[in-house]
Chain A
Amino acid sequence: MASFSQDELDGLIACPKEITEPPKREMKLDGAQFRNSAKLVASNEIKGEFTIFMRQNEDFPENFSIGLKYSPQDGRETITLIRCNGKHGDFNASFDREHPHSDFHIHQASESAIEAGYAPEKVADRTSEYASFEEALQYFVKVINLNPKDAQRHFPVKAQIPFAFE
């Protein structure tokens, strides 16, 4: 895995971005997963291409992942920068009692993980920023600094459907 400094990784997540290839209007069921994706570029001087991927398990909808990948297009490999995840179920406590696997959690790429030879986004922390796929998506587009117009157009806040009382 090619090297990225922590500043570079953080800058890649936070740099302003705009959509070049929009997501489909609805998630598409493929096997056991609902999925969607979009392509982006940075609005500043950063080269390369970003990809948003969205996955949600059909059997366990609370188990989802919304991520951002970066292809530098300079010979370095594509890297996953951040993944906002849902609940994967309980974790094997005998191995790691503090692992955030069972809660909503966020994996984020770190220089230390890359240097240690792990998956770049191995480090994960619990989050209280969202409690559903829809909320996670809204949080995600803010964290990756997506152009507000693109965010509103392609990732609109899903309005609550009111119950019809008779």
Chain B
Amino acid sequence: MDFLEDLKSEFNHHVSFREKRPGIVQVLAPLFHEDGDMVDIFLDLPTPSREAIRISDHGMTLMRLSYAYDVDTPTKQRILNRILSENGIAEDRGRLYLNTTQEHLYPALLQFAQTVAKVSNMQAFKREVMQNLFYEMLDDFVKTDLSRFHPAERFLPISSRDDLEVDWKLNLPRQVFLFGVRDNAKARLAALACREFQMSSISFRSVIVHEDFENGLSKKDQSRITNAADKQFTSLSDFQTNAERYFQREMETVQ
């Protein structure tokens, strides 16, 4: 196939090809994952129903990613979709692909490899991603896993005080005001709001979900929020694991 020879030439002959299956050629390019394994890139040759050459990973990128990092929340899925759309890559049932022509095969292949690297890096920068996405992930969890409590977002218990906003109100026999906290400023705001609601004799239980109680707050702010709140979860994963059981107990206690 002439276009493979052209591609080889464009790669300065640092690439070779193997027939993986009839009509599918594996590209052996000097492109590697951080564990030393080679990036999986295949060329699906044109068929009667598809004129284009399809550059595909045959599902290997997301499979490799899943060893340590699952795209298992709407937020993570949004990030993945954004990476793919920004780089012009499509996905079909877990397979990343890019249709191209013989003339554009070389730049398309580099574009594809670069995107595979970005998707694979969702694992490498997961801690940073998680920190930036704390509020989004909390929102996803409340909307999906706690939907039976009819969560109301950005609730104002005192209508005249729009500076005292509750992240989520959950409808339990005694209403729950839920705050997500990832830094000192938000911890102080939540503590202040809880105090004000108590002084206004509002009947509620306050629940604080911290991103990282131990390392994310100063000692003074840990004390402030602990004195003001009824219940705290020290991390999002702690909340995700135990929230359902906690709220069930709350319902039984009040009844």
Contact = CB atoms under 8 A, between A and B. Distances in A.
State which size class the interface on A falls in: 35 or more
A78 B67 CA distance: 11
State which size class the interface on B falls in: 20 to 34
A107 B20 CA distance: 23
Contacts of A90: 16, 18, 26, 28
**B58, B60, B93: residue with the most chain A Cβ atoms closer than 10 Å:** B60
A20 B84 CA distance: 37
Contact of A32 (B16, B21, B34, B59): B59
Interface in A115-142: 118-119, 121-122, 124
A8 interface: no
B3 interface: no
B167 interface: no
Nearest to A105: B37
A53 B60 contact: no
Contacts of B30: 92, 94-95
A55 B66 contact: yes
Nearest to A120: B35
Contacts of A118: 34-36
B63 A92 contact: no
Nearest to B15: A92
B38 interface: yes
Contact of B67 (A31, A57, A83, A88): A83
Given A59-B58, A92-B15, A92-B30, A33 B63 contact: yes
Interface string A48-78: 0000010101111001010101000000001
A33 B38 contact: no
List the 3 closest A-B pairs by CB distance, nearest first: A31-B94, A32-B59, A32-B94
